[in-house]
Structure 1
Amino acid sequence: MKRILILMALLMAGALNSYSQSNANKWSEQRIWEWYNKQPWLCGFNYIPAYAINYTAMWDKTTYDPAAIDKELALAEKSGMNTLRAVLQYAVYADDPKYFLATLDNFMKLCDKHHIKFIPALFDDCSFGIKSDPVIGKQPEPLKGWYAWAWSPSPGHSMVTDTTTYPKLEKYVKAVISRFKNDDRVLMWDLYNEPTNGGLGNTTLPLLKKVIAWGREVNPSQPLTIGAFDMNKRLNDIITENSDVISFHEYGNRETLLKTIERYKKYNRPLINTEWMNRPFKSTIPEVLDVFYENKIGCTLWGLVNGKTQTELPWGHRPGDPEQKVWQHDLYHGDFKPYDESEITLLSKFITDSKSKEYSQTHQHSN
């Protein structure tokens, strides 16, 4: 037991040491604003194919379906959306690193074909079902009425809390970022989706700090970010201190969104809302899209085509709960029919207008 405690202490000390050095390659305010001012208004979506019940199914060699993805991204292209965000799955990489990197390249080719930039998220703590560790291969079928029934975190809660697995995770992070570090199909790297979520709490923080350090060691040509999503001060301090771009999740109404934007403006960096759109909460295209547009704040709504994740249901929905008439997420039904045609029309209008509007966010240090 004493040896184990000493080993854990050494690993933690190493994590803190590498984390303390991670800011060495953080982008300056001038550099990040120069980068951001060259971007169009970033308007897109969080993507998981309709065929996939979780991100394991999206990437796994038993189910990865480029033809289906191609059709769905063509649908997104019609509206003019230019950005998508998707979570990667460590378990699929660990099973076959060569396959995984080749599949990522294939996916990016599809994104590029449809003029969409990719935001990969390397890890994810979210868990909505009964399992918190991914298993490769054929995934379960949906349980009707259960929101995100078989969602699979990456790398899984067991690995997050077991520091002896970190060398394996380091190889994954560095292999993926290194492979695409100069690839202009990647807009930016989202290092960790909602760390501490899914019941893990602050036990995620040691891994988060290591992931930041590993990303900075690779030093890609694209900026790094982690999305702030709640009011955990310890977590948010880490996020804001180490993000080149300040990204955040906000599913609230217009008033709540404006308050959130004001909270993050103080960091003097570009803002991108990497998760939004919850219709029952009035986080909708008619209610809030103009806020992003007028301020040139990037935004990626959730999600594109409704499918096996059943994200039309509200968070926490279980079989037998009252039916909710207003969809929570997703722009299209599985047959590509819009949930609300007026949403797509308005979305396309803002994107079209942004192409002709000569505006850019500027900051005193970028002049």
Structure 2
Amino acid sequence: MKNKTIACLFFLLFSSINNILLAQDSTLRWSQQKAWNWYNSQPWYCGFNYIPAYAINYTAMWDKTSFDPVAIGKELTLAQADGMNVLRAVLQYAVYADDPAYFLKTLDTFMGICAKHKIKFVPALFDDCVFGINSDPKIGKQPEPLKGWYAWAWSPSPGHSMVVDSTTYPKLEHYVTAVISRFKNDDRILLWDLYNEPTNGGLGTTTLPLLKRVIAAARKVHPSQPLTVDVWNNNKRLNDIALAASDIITFHNYGNKNDLVKMINDLKQYNRPLICTEWMNRPNRSVIADNLPIFYNEKVGCMLWGLVNGKTQTDLPWGHRPGDPPPAVWQHDLYKPDFTPYRQPEIDSIRLYTLEKVK
């Protein structure tokens, strides 16, 4: 009887330890081997950062007052014709907080449109960027463009007031787990980009506590898709957090081809798959003719900015203000509002790599 009791206690102890280890494993990032197995099973991804031409910010893209699946479908038809197979877009916490059921249903509708056009979706759950006068989003009808001001009504998510207020973090963590849990096994999602350019918009290190909480909340869901936080600047403290959290490494590079090659080579040291989630800045020589062949030859996925020029006025350079001289060349975007290409040779180059070379 004594031996049986000891054996039973040993079994219970072993089971308990094993369950703890399994729980811990579910919160760890993917191994290098798992990341490469996933990446090598995928096609080469070439796509774009997407905000519809009708939307002056991401609040307008998702809001009840303006979400327009018909307009989105027409624009994604252009991308599909060019062979682009992935897009990235920022979600808006404020729209979720107003009506979670509506938001999740709208995400599902949007992903249905993407799938119809054979385009994978990369959602970014948060974004610190500010280009105008507002640092907090407001739902409902959005402002109209201020001519000559790059993305003047851009709305970060969740907004700077919540980022610096730790009492809001439980709400934001619930949003993370609710959204990822709803789509954790959905193959329409390529990967989860947890936070676009954390610390941007003047927030500095005040974003880091929230970023860590977001990463932990996402890990607890254990989605089938990889998680990532983009490397976008030279902030070592931030990049240490981002790199340690990322199953695959994603990054932003708006530099010329030499800058791009250097960054790719620097990131290769981590021995994980690479995807560039933001690029193309024509005045800065981040151009399709030079950089797209590098992405293709290195087998690094890429998403340029952006598709159809619209209310965000991202044809203008960063920092452009009303009264400044008009730029000689567009900074971003492939198509004019009438759906004609800004530069046909760029479209021809994209199609060469997405429709011809991949055969």
Q: Which bracket does the TM-score occupy, shorter chain normalised?
A: over 0.9
How far apart, CA to CA, are the structure 2 residues paired with 1:159 and 1:22?
31
3-state DSSP of counterpart to 1:321:
coil
User: Partner of 1:132: helix, strand, or coil?
Assistant: coil
Q: Distance in 2 between matches of 1:158 and 1:337?
A: 40
1:55 alignment partner in structure 2:
58
Q: Is the 8 A contact 1:22 1:213 kept in 2?
A: no
Distance in 1 separating the partners of 2:342 and 2:275: 25
After superposition, what is the alpha-carbon deviation per residue over 1:293-316, rounded to whole angstroms, capped at 9, x for unaligned?
001100000000000000000000
The CA distance in 1 between the partners of 2:97 and 2:227, in whole Å, is 23
Matches within 5 A, 1:256-275: 256-275=259-278
Q: CA deviation at 1:323?
A: 1.0
Kindly state the Cα deviation for residue 220 of structure 1 after the two structures are TM-superposed: 0.1
Match of 1:352 in 2: 355
Supply the distance in 1 between the matched residues of 2:120 and 2:159 (Cα, whole angstroms). 27
Aligned with 2:313 (options 310, 317, 340): 310
Deviations for 1:9-32, whole angstroms, at most 9, x for unmatched residues? xxxxxxxxxxxx798421000101
TM-score w.r.t. length of structure 2? 0.93
Q: How large is the Cα RMSD of the aligned pairs?
A: 1.0
1:216 aligns with 2:237: no
For 1:94-152, what per-residue CA distance to the aligned partner results, in whole angstroms no more than 9, with x for missing partners?
A: 00000000000000000000000000000000000001000000000000000001000
Mark the runs of 5 or more structure 2 residues left unpaired by the alignment. Answer: 1-23
Correspondence 1:278 to 2:281? yes
Aligned length: 336
Distance, in Å, in 2 between the alignment partners of 1:242 and 1:334 is: 38
Contact kept, 8 Å, 1:83 with 1:119, in 2: the verdict is: yes
Deviations 1:155-177 (A, max 9, x none): 00000000000011011000000
Paired residues of 1:22 and 1:217 also in contact (CA < 8 A): no
Unaligned runs of 5+ in 1: 1-20, 357-367
Partner of 2:155: 152
Per the alignment, residue 241 of structure 2 pairs with 238
TM-score (norm 1): 0.91
RCO higher in structure (CA 8 A, sep ≥6): 1
Aligned to 1:165: 168
Structure 1 pair 328–22 and aligned structure 2 pair: CA distance change class (3 A): farther
Question: 1:124 aligns to what?
Answer: 127
The separation in 2 between residues aligned to 1:145 and 1:154, in whole angstroms, is 24
Q: Does 1:93 align with 2:99?
A: no
Calculate percent identity across the aligned residue pairs.
Answer: 70
CA contact (8 A) 1:22 1:216 kept: no
Contact 2:130 2:155 in 1 (8 A): yes
Using the TM superposition, give the Cα deviation of residue 325 of structure 1 relative to its aligned residue in structure 2, in angstroms. 1.7
1:353 Cα deviation (Å)? 3.4
Question: In the alignment, which of 118, 139, 143 is matched to residue 142 of structure 2?
Answer: 139
Deviation at 1:250, TM superposition (A): 0.1
Q: Which residue number corresponds to residue 248 of structure 1?
A: 251
Q: Which of 65, 70, 80 is the equivalent residue of 2:68? A: 65
Counterpart of 2:187?
184
Aligned to 2:15: none
Match of 1:29 in 2: 32
Distance (whole Å) between structure 2 residues aligned to residue 96 and residue 240 of structure 1: 33
SS, match of residue 270 in structure 2: coil
Residues 168 and 253 of structure 1: CA distance in aligned 2, closer, same or farther (over 3 Å)? same
Residues 271-304 of structure 1: per-residue CA shift (max 9 Å, x gap): 0000000000110110110000001100000000
From 35, 38, 41, give the equivalent of 2:41: 38
Report the 3-state secondary structure (helix = DSSP H, G, I; strand = E; otherwise coil) of the residue aligned with 2:327: coil
- Secondary structure at 1:100 match in 2: helix
The amino acid that maps onto 1:200 is L
CA distance in 2, matches of 1:142, 1:34: 45
The Cα shift of 1:348 comes to 0.4
Structure 1 residue 354: Cα displacement = 4.0
- Contact persistence 2:195–2:229 (CA under 8 A): yes
